[in-house]
Structure 1
């Protein structure tokens, strides 16, 4: 996304935690947050995740730190939050972007693949919120933005198990938003349609047909860019969105409406 869309200094003085930071959408979120002067704590499970984040940040050189953690595990999410608090003293923004679907026909899932799908996409969010909310409540300020999925709303091909997990994220959003509304904390979800991540751009042979079916549902005739998704995430994470909470905002080219 053009730098003209970046509000310089919008996150100056704010500590922003981004999970799944070494992925396509996560990288776009990190790059934009850095461009808006956030102090960043990035987390991912990829073996080379820290190097990937460093490459994304390039010469922006924000104050940042990295935590390698399995956030589907309570200890991993607690360690991420403790690191942020120990290093920077507080958490202003939590962006729950970690996830990743095992996309297949429902009856082809195994017990292991069902559990992994829920662990990656729902428990990561539950665990990170559980760990971060006490400090946000104590400070009287917080922005939580979850990355959900537009497929929850349109029943996308082969997405039943993934939708079960992401649908839990959407539901958690509304419950937390109401519970913490008087604590200065907003909770929202951005639900992207298909997005041109590096995986999608690689056109894996076993997914090309699925991508074509998904794209055919989008009136604009294309997938979202990672920058378009990041733009919505960072708006909801900002002080500008102070009266928006409990919402699922789709970035979907019209794939679902209203």
Structure 2
């Protein structure tokens, strides 16, 4: 069995639910030791329950905290070093915005969207870069958004945050290439996570969100949403040693909703 990430250590922020949980599962399957970053302890415990079937026990750890706050990135790095002795791969997946028509945003929802999607990436990346530079190796994979390119309805503020992630990626990739560090974005289109699927099946989602989901699928030539595994596969490739000549790129996992 091929284990391309054997001996490597990864941190997956927002790794206890949705896309992040799928990424953590895939990296474990590929042989990595994985620390799952979660916002709440209850989420982390549920994630452990799902991931133990893919883990030896010694290759799985967790950390709870709000990664948008000052010092949180450093705490995350310390947790990885304490658990596994170092860090090779950072997957900046933590995020989540308030998706609503632009003029319905409030100061609170604007701040939450930027905090969750831009500050988390910035703080965690700045915390781990010195560690990676000292080791002469690193893989940073940021989860961006296809909506930055296709202008999905009600996503303008979310796109402001995710677009910042896309832009930051190219600058960091150029600056740290000589240090053996690659920095890339995986940009999914609409992904039907288990949580979203449950809401759709139960009919518990707001009508406006269902409308946005329907518009997202209409933009995809493959006529289906993405899956968590679709996104995790792209992340797993960029996390590998043999992806080392790929940096500063936005890898769209989008079913063709934008091309070129």
Shorter-chain TM band = over 0.9
* Cα distance in 1, alignment partners of residues 67 and 123 from structure 2: 7
> Given the alignment of the two structures, is residue 70 of structure 1 paired with residue 66 of structure 2, yes or no?
yes
* Cα distance in 1, alignment partners of residues 2 and 43 from structure 2: 26
Matched-pair contact (CA < 8 Å) for 1:40–1:65: yes
Residue number in structure 2 paired with 1:3: none
Pairing 1:210-221 to 2, within 5 Å after superposition: 210-221=212-223
Residue number in structure 1 paired with 2:84: 88
> Given the alignment of the two structures, is residue 157 of structure 1 paired with residue 153 of structure 2, yes or no?
yes
Pairing 1:83-122 to 2, within 5 Å after superposition: 83-122=79-118
Does the residue aligned with 1:196 lie in a helix, a strand or coil?
Answer: coil
> Given the alignment of the two structures, is residue 224 of structure 1 paired with residue 231 of structure 2, yes or no?
no
Quick check: 193-202 or 153-162, which moved more? 193-202
Gaps of 5+ in 2: none
* Cα distance in 1, alignment partners of residues 2 and 245 from structure 2: 22
Residue number in structure 1 paired with 2:185: 189
Matched-pair contact (CA < 8 Å) for 2:40–2:65: no
Kindly state the Cα deviation for residue 208 of structure 1 after the two structures are TM-superposed. 1.4
The runs of at least 4 aligned residues of structure 1 exceeding 6 Å deviation read none
* Cα distance in 1, alignment partners of residues 129 and 138 from structure 2: 8
* Cα distance in 2, alignment partners of residues 217 and 200 from structure 1: 18
* Cα distance in 2, alignment partners of residues 170 and 60 from structure 1: 31
Gaps of 5+ in 1: 1-6
Kindly state the Cα deviation for residue 164 of structure 1 after the two structures are TM-superposed. 0.1
Matched-pair contact (CA < 8 Å) for 1:144–1:185: yes
Alpha-carbon RMSD = 1.1
Q: Deviations over 1:67-110 (max 9, x none)?
A: 00110012222111111122222110000000011100111101
* Cα distance in 2, alignment partners of residues 58 and 82 from structure 1: 23
> Given the alignment of the two structures, is residue 27 of structure 1 paired with residue 34 of structure 2, yes or no?
no
What is the TM-score when the length of structure 1 is the normalising length?
0.95
Quick check: 196-205 or 96-105, which moved more? 196-205
Q: May I ask how many residue pairs the two structures share in their alignment? A: 252
Residue number in structure 2 paired with 1:4: none
What is the TM-score when the length of structure 2 is the normalising length?
0.94
